A and B are shown apart, each in its own frame.
Chain A
Amino acid sequence: MLSFKICDIKIHKFRTVDEAKIMKNIGLAIFVILLLVGCENNKNYKNSLDKAQISESDIEYFQNLVGDTVLFTVDQSGLRPDAISILNAQVNWLKEKKFLPITIEGHADEQGTREYNLALGARRATAVREFLLAKGIEQDRISIVTYGKERPLRVCSNEECWSKNRRAVTVVGKKIVD
C-alpha cells in the first residue's frame, strides 16, 4: 500500500516536476526514472529509496518528488491546474509532518518594475497559502514572503526562463518571525 502510494505520487510528480530542478540534479533524475521503471516492474520501491538514501520523510523528497514549486501565468496569481495538483501533493505530505513550519516564497519574472513585482510575489505566495489553509494546513505553520524579481531561478531573458521564474516555492522547515 505504501509502495503504491509512493509510486503514485512519483508518477504524478514526474509529469509536473520543475525541469530546472531535474536539470540541476541529473543524478536524481536518473534515480526517478529508475524508480519509475521499478514501479512498472513491481519491485520493492522502499529498497530503492533506501539505496538512494532519500526517504519519503526527507525534505529533499518534498522538494524534488512532491514538488516544492508551482508556476504562474504572466502578471497573474491565480492557481493553474498544474499548480493545484502539485499543491494537493504538498498538502498530503505536509499533513504527515505536522511539526514542520513552512514558508511560501512568491517570485516574479524580470518583466515588471521592482515594487510591483514585490506586490505580485506577495499575491502569488498568498494564493498558495490560501489553498493550503483551505485544505486544512494549520495557519500558524505558514509564513509568506515575497522576493519579487530579486531571486531569479533562471537567467535567460525570454519566456523559457521567465515561465520558471514566475513561481511560488514552499520551503519546508523555515519559519519567519516578524
Chain B
Amino acid sequence: MVRHSVIKFLKIISITSIFLINHSLVAAQKNYAPQLDMTVNRGVIKPISLAVPSFIIESGANSIISRELAKVISNNLDSTGLFKSIPQSAYISMPLSFNTPVQFSDWSIINADVLVMGSVGLKPDGRLEVKFRLWDVSQQKEIGKGKQYFTNSESWRRISHKISDTIYTRVTGEGAYFDSRVVFVSETGPKDNRTKRLAIMDQDGANFRLLKHPPSLVIAPRFSPTTNKIIFTGYETGKPRVYLMDLSSEEITSLPELKGMSFAPRFSADGSQIVLSMTENGNTDIFINTLSTGVKRRLTTNNAIDTAPSFSPDGKSIVFESDRGGGQQLYIISTQGGDAKRISFGKGRYATPVWSPRGDLIAFTKIKEGKFHIGVMRVDGTKERLLTTSFLDEGPAWAPNGRVLMFFRETPGRAGAPSIYSIDISGRNLRKIKTSSFASDPNWSQILN
C-alpha cells in the first residue's frame, strides 16, 4: 500500500538546452503544498481529474498546435493511470487570455482537480513561445511557478513532454519521464524470415524512425546515459558482435577488442564502460570494457552461461544471470571481481536482470511452468513481485524515474509477433505502445537534455 497524502512540492527542475529556454513567470507562491490527495489502496486508485484546454493562441500560432500541445499532455498524464483527463467537450468555458483570472467555478463544477492553462505564440524569428500554469481548482491556487519555453516549431512535442513532466512531478512527487525516447528493434516479415532493424521513437510512440545500419541481424540496442549513443549486437561479420552507434551521425564503430562472439552490452551510469558477455570455446562469461582505452577485463570465469549483465547506478556492482547453480538465476558481483552472490531463489528460471536507475529494485524476466513474467525484486532478492504473465514477456527496461517498465510481449504460433508494452511497477496500468511494425527489445533513455 502506498499513500501520497499531501504531495510534496518539488523544486522546479530547470530546463536548459539549445532548444529550450526556461523563464519563471511572475506570481508564483513559494513553498506551496497542493492539497490534492492521491490514495492508492488495495489496488484501487482514484485518479486525479485533469482539465487541459487547448492552448490559448497568441500572435500567429496555428490552432492545430494549440490543440495538439494540450492533447499530448492529456495523453501523457492519462497513460500513467494516476490522472484522468476530462474531455474538452465537457468544459463550460475556455480560457481566453493567459493572464486573466481563472474562473474556478467553471472547473470545479465539472469536478476538475487540476487545471492546466497554456498559451502558444509564434515569434518573428519563427520560434514558438509556449507558456503554461498549473492550478489547484479546489484551493484556487497556482501549483508551482509558471513556465515559459522557446523552441523551433518542429520540437513542439518536446514542450508538451516537458510540461507533462513538470505537472507529473509537482503533483505526484515522482521523477520525470515523458521527455525521453525509446530505442528498440523494429521487426517485419514472417516469423521464419524476420527482418530486424534498429529504431527509435519518443516514449509515447511518436516520431518513429529507423536507424541506418547494414541489413544483417541486429539485437537489443541500449542507450548511453547521455542518450547520444547506443550500443547493440549486430551480425555484420556473420557472428554476433557488439557495436557502438552515434545517434546524430548514425555512424557505427566496431570495438576490435570484442571480436569473437560478444553480446548483451550495457553502459555504466557514467558512460565510460560497458559490461557485456563474450563466448569463448562455448563458454559465455561477463566482461567489463573501458571505452576510452579498449581494455577489457574478465569478471567471471565460470563454466556456466553468465550473461545479461547490468550495472548498478553507483557503478560498484553488476547483476547478471547464470546457470551455474543448475538453472538460470540472478547473481550480483562487484565490478572489482570476487565471488558472485546469488539473489534469486524462487522456483523457475530468472533472466535479463536490469538495475533500477533509483538503485532500489531489479527488474527481470521469469520463466515458470511454461509462462513468462516480468517482475521486480529488491536488490537483496526479497519482495519479489511478478507484474505480468503471458506466453512470452521478456526484456524489461526502466523509465528514467524508476517507476515504469517497458518490455516486449510475443504472441504464440505461426502468426506470433512481438509488441512493446509498459506497466507501472505497482503492477497496474498495462499498456501497449503503438508502433507501426512489430517491436521488441525496448530500452528507455534518460530524460533528454
Contact = CB atoms under 8 A, between A and B. Distances in A.
Interface string B178-200: 00000000000011101010000
B215 interface: no
A154 B190 CA distance: 11
A129 B412 CA distance: 32
A116 B217 contact: no
- Taking residues whose C-beta sits less than 8 angstroms from the other chain, chain A's interface range is 35 or more
B185 to A, nearest CB: 10
Given A113-B351, A114-B219, A125 B264 contact: no
A178 B365 contact: no
A111 B368 CA distance: 11
Contacts of B367: 111-113
Interface stretch (B96-104, B143-151, B165-173, B255-263): B255-263
A143 to B, nearest CB: 8
A119 B219 contact: no
Interface stretch (A43-51, A53-61, A144-152): A144-152
Contact of A113 (B191, B239, B261, B308): B308
A106 to B, nearest CB: 9
Contacts of B395: 113-114
Nearest to B408: A114
Contacts of B240: 118, 145-146
Given A126-B281, A146-B240, A116 B351 contact: yes
Nearest to A147: B217
Given A113-B308, A115-B263, A145 B238 contact: yes
B190 A114 contact: no
B203 interface: no
Interface string A99-125: 000010000001111111011101101
A116 B261 contact: no
Interface residues of B, number: 45
B220 interface: yes
Nearest to B350: A113
Interface string A54-79: 00000000000000000000000100
B413 A157 contact: yes
B50 to A, nearest CB: 38
Given A115-B277, A146-B240, A178-B237, A110 B263 contact: no
For the complex of A and B, 5 pairs with smallest distance between CB atoms = A126-B282, A157-B412, A119-B284, A176-B238, A113-B351
Interface of A: 77, 103, 110-116, 118-120, 122-123, 125-127, 129-130, 143, 145-147, 150-157, 174, 176-178
Given A123-B282, A145-B238, 15 more contacts: A111-B370, A112-B349, A113-B365, A114-B220, A116-B351, A118-B284, A119-B277, A119-B284, A122-B284, A127-B282, A150-B194, A155-B191, A174-B238, A176-B238, A178-B237
22 contacts: A113-B321, A113-B351, A113-B352, A113-B367, A113-B395, A114-B220, A114-B395, A115-B277, A115-B307, A116-B307, A119-B277, A122-B282, A145-B238, A146-B261, A150-B196, A150-B217, A152-B191, A154-B192, A155-B416, A157-B412, A174-B238, A177-B238
